[in-house]
Amino acid sequence: MKIDRRLIKNFDFVTFLLIIGMAVIGIMTIYSATRHPIPGGDMPTYYMRQLYWLFVSILFLVAIVSFDYIWLKRLAYVLYGAGIFLLLLVLFLGKAGMGAQRWLNLGIFSFQPSEVFRLLYLITISRYLSELQGEVTLVSLLRTFMMLTFVPVALLIEQPDLGTAIMLMLVFFSMVSIKGLHRRALVLVVLIGLVSIPFLGHIFWAGLKDYQKNRLVAFIEPESDPSGIGYHISQSKIAIGSGCFAGKGYLKGTQGPFRFLPEKHTDFIFSVFAEEWGFAGSFVLLFLYLSLILRGLDTARKAKDEFGSLLAFGISFMFTIYFFVNVGMTLGIMPVVGVPLPFMSYGGTSLLANFVAAGILINIRTRRFELFY
């Protein structure tokens, strides 16, 4: 098999190095957060598992870059159907944990189908919108929502995985807006949304689990029960604030390793990082994520076709949502919704899905040269 030299010449090493850097920082932080053994047990090996998943993720990224992304467009609806099947499978055979049923156990390892589906959804809606002619009218908006978005959002809420469900809704409206939403459709959507807020809010609150309601109460008034429902946010703020400007230093943090901070290696990994590296380190981390997002948006601008442009924008927007929601909830300015920090939080499925997404970005940017030949 002969490798086209233009693929190597145009390979997006900037994006590749950015995600590798963030993944390595994540593994270092996971090790720091879990370096003390559990009382009466062995020392956790989360960082080693994440390292194994990093190697697997790199292999998947290379595989994704090796073929033209146009094949993703051709297989979009098949992939979407497979994703819906996995979400349905979770409802019947999924493994429950921490109040939710989101994982499928394959014996050797467990994985979270919703992490995979968010990428399959992006591929499918990018194809659908790229095949629409002109602006998105109200009829086509409703058709797109009912055909591609309503069912997966309902399945995700049933798990429940509220964070991913909200992300899909935000991605849906952002993708439709980028495609071009007709002015009349936009006005009607806004008016309907404003009128429906009280009604939908009541339904939304009634459908929440008790732990989800507690998270919202903790977000609004965390000091009302600092040792109960507000504990996560309070401890996260303590960890971040104690880092000051320069941080305590690597392996010198206390909130995570001594188990004051729950979920320190997953949802609240930024708190552990900020405690050890302070504002200065957090600023550098913000710069890395901002660079990745801007690189993705530039890739969307330079893509050779509308499908690639929409897909690159959707992936960039997804990374943006996950970053700001995760950091926001650790700072207490957003409710805790169980959203991981891309490339850094512990979780093999999440890391693999994010590397595949980044691989698609690299694929789209690498093959932009076809415009000039």
Cα first-last separation, the chain: 22
Q: How confident is the model at residue 1 (pLDDT cuts 50, 70, 90)?
A: very low
pTM score > 0.85 for this model?
A: yes
What's the mean pLDDT in 143-160?
A: 87
Q: How confident is the model at residue 45 (pLDDT cuts 50, 70, 90)?
A: confident
Highest mean pLDDT among 63-67, 154-158, 295-299: 295-299
What's the mean pLDDT in 155-176?
A: 85
Tell me what the pLDDT averaged over the chain comes to. 83
The CA distance from 322 to 119, in Å, is 13
What's the mean pLDDT in 134-159?
A: 86
Residues 59-74 pLDDT 10s: 999 999 988 999 999 9
Is residue 161 over pLDDT 90? no
What's the mean pLDDT in 156-165?
A: 81
Residues 10-24 pLDDT 10s: 789 999 999 999 999
The CA distance from 46 to 338, in Å, is 18
